Amino acid sequence: NLTEERHEFDKRQQQKKEEDVKQQAKAEENKKKCIDAQGQLRLYTDSPRLTVPDGAGGIVFVDDDARQRKIAYANKAIATYCK
Per-residue pLDDT of the chain (83 residues; tens, 9 = 90+): 889 999 999 999 999 999 999 999 999 999 999 999 999 999 999 988 888 888 899 999 988 998 999 999 999 999 999 98
Residue 24 vs residues 13, 20, 71, 81: alpha-carbon distances, Å: 16, 6, 28, 14
Q: Tell me the one-letter amino acid at 74.
A: A
Backbone torsions φ then ψ of 54, nearest 5 degrees: -95, 0
CB-CB contact of 64 with 70 (8 Å): no
